[in-house]
Amino acid sequence: MDDVYDGCSSQEDLGTDEGWAEEDFIDDDDDGPVSGGAPSSAGAEAGPSSSGKADTWRVMGMEQIKKLQVEAISHVTSLTGCSKAKALALLVNYRWNDERVLSIMADKGLDALYESVGLPTEAPHPAPATSGSEEVTCNICCESVAPNKASSLAPDCSHIFCNDCWKQYLSVGLSEGKGSQLRCMGYKCGAPCDFDKVMALLKGTLEAKRYQEALLQSYVDDNNTARFCPSAPWCGNVIVVESDPVCEPECSCSTVFCFKCGRSPHSPCTCEMWTKWDEKISGDSETRSWIIANTKPCPKCTKPVEKNGGCNHVTCKCGASFCWLCGEQTGMTHTWKSIEGHTCGRYKDELDKKISEAARSHKRYMHYFERYKGHSDSHIREKGRRQELKDRIAERMESGVDARDYTWLQQALHQLITARGVLAPSYAFAFFFFGNDMYKDDFDASTNTRNQNLFEDQQAMLEAEVERLSDLAEKCIAALVAEEEDHAAVQSLRLEIINRTVSVESRIIHFYNMVQELLDQLQTCSAHIAMYKPQKNVKIN
């Protein structure tokens, strides 16, 4: 394999620890950021929540992430005196929390900090001196190569291997997703590879770009305070939270998501609730539960068989006969009470109880699912109405027919969409919080009933306000988009719509405060949700 160093005579020419600057994360061809991303919006911040907390976040592009990464590495290096390769290894292992790294160093010492992540604690031994013509033996392939075809990529050790073995090792590490945690190949060494030396070795190859991307992406993937926006198509932006990670930030591309789990917004559900609810509605687990309780697999063809009456002798369509109570295959001769040559010790009461419990559970699930689905469908319709209104307003303004301000109506539709987004997951919350095993040890029966009544009262009042506002908005939009606009009807509805919009938001705030009070009562565990942010001064796009 041709040498990639263009005449380098020793491993010192591969780069030094002093050469790591922020421009090192840019391709040599000046193509811009390694990972494409839209430029950041100017420090987008969320408003205060109904709980009084100020949840803030920033929307950033990859250029800004690169600067944060370099600053964190420089911070750790300056205070610990370690190499930048070691600083990178420490930050990756401690999820880019430089304060955590420095806290452990202050409490336990630098050696204990290194040992906690498998880094060598001793000072590096100098690499063995070699003359310009003396060959170096690689301890991996056992081949002897010229000094300029062998290198030591870790500044904290002196192990030297041939460049071909290094390249294969680095390529495998990158393909396995370990680009941010590349260590020396030496036996039980663990010294981290230096960025500059790895880049010099991989210069001009696809692996060099993959290595840059892996390091840059590590700041997001291995960081508790940063997450890529999950938009589709992908905008490339990164959300960096500055306070509580349990929040639902909005990217500059208008995508809103749960920062903690990366899913669509689901407050007032916790992430655990939403994960289980998604499994139910996506995996159809309730249907499977009913099938398990009400059918038995045929012992011959394994297809589910339902018994709709009669005795316990059941015959499948495939011709096989079996006992309904135990599922064992039997002969055909039987009476109402027994099957010839077969005895079964199970009690029928046990089966009846199992069936009734499954049926009751399925009925309860369907109660909450139908209402969840209703608000989810309305959420989609409200978005369609808002777009219809925006198109109509834009059309009238372009034609010069009308220049009136309809922000109040757009604000009402925005509030409706928000309210539907709260009401839909509120039924998933109720399904798990009341009468489910998730929090059964936290409340006795009377407390659970009282909490459920309180929750359902607040939920019903919010629903009533939402439906009233939805009806008014629908009438107003119908009058607005008609061929002959009924201006008088629109104006007569204006004040009532504004008042209902304020009322809906007030109900949402009261609803969230009540949910938080319920969560505060938990004794055996803790649960956190993204609190509602008032829609004051919301920008209407």
Contacts made by residues 497-501, CB under 8 angstroms, sequence distance 24+: 497/408, 497/409, 497/412, 497/469, 497/472, 497/473, 498/408, 498/412, 500/412, 500/465, 500/468, 500/469, 500/472, 501/408, 501/411, 501/412, 501/415, 501/469
Q: Which of 83, 160, 165, 161 is nearest to 128 (CA)?
A: 160
Cα–Cα dist 161/419, whole Å: 63
Q: How far is CA 452 from the centre of its chain?
A: 29
Closest CA to 468 of 510, 502, 422, 512: 502
Contact assessment for residue 89 and residue 178, using Cβ atoms and an 8 Å cutoff: no
| Rounded alpha-carbon distances, angstroms, from residue 302 to 84, 297, 325, 332, 522 | 61, 5, 16, 19, 44
DSSP states of 514-531 as a string? HHHHHHHT-SSS----PP
Cβ pair 74, 98 in contact under 8 A: no
CB-based contacts of 199: which residues, under 8 Å, 6+ apart?
Answer: 15, 24, 208, 211, 212
Report the chain's C-alpha Rg in angstroms.
Answer: 33
DSSP 135-168: -EE-TTT--EE-GGGEE---TT----EEHHHHHH
CA distance 22 to 253: 27
Catalytic residue among 8, 311, 326, 344: 311
271-283 and 407-433 are packed helices; what angle lies between their axes, rounded to 10 degrees? 80
**What are the phi and psi torsion angles at 304 (to 5°)?**
-70, 140
Q: Are 304 and 297 in contact (CB under 8 A)?
A: yes
Tokens of 30: 């000046």
Secondary element (H or E) of residue 497: helix 487-520
Hey, which bits of 40-172 come out as E strands?
A: 57-60, 136-137, 144-145, 150-151, 161-162
Place of tokens 């008032």: 534
DSSP string, 398-441: HHTS-----HHHHHHHHHHHHHHHHHHHHHHHHHHHSSSGGGTT
* Structure tokens that stand for 215 in this block: 């390091």
Amino acid at 109: G
Is 311 a residue of the active site? yes
Q: Alpha carbon of 72 to those of 11, 405, 465: distances in Å?
A: 28, 48, 49
Q: Is the omega angle on the peptide bond into residue 155 within 30 degrees of 0, that is, cis?
A: no
What amino acid positions are annotated as catalytic residues?
Answer: 311
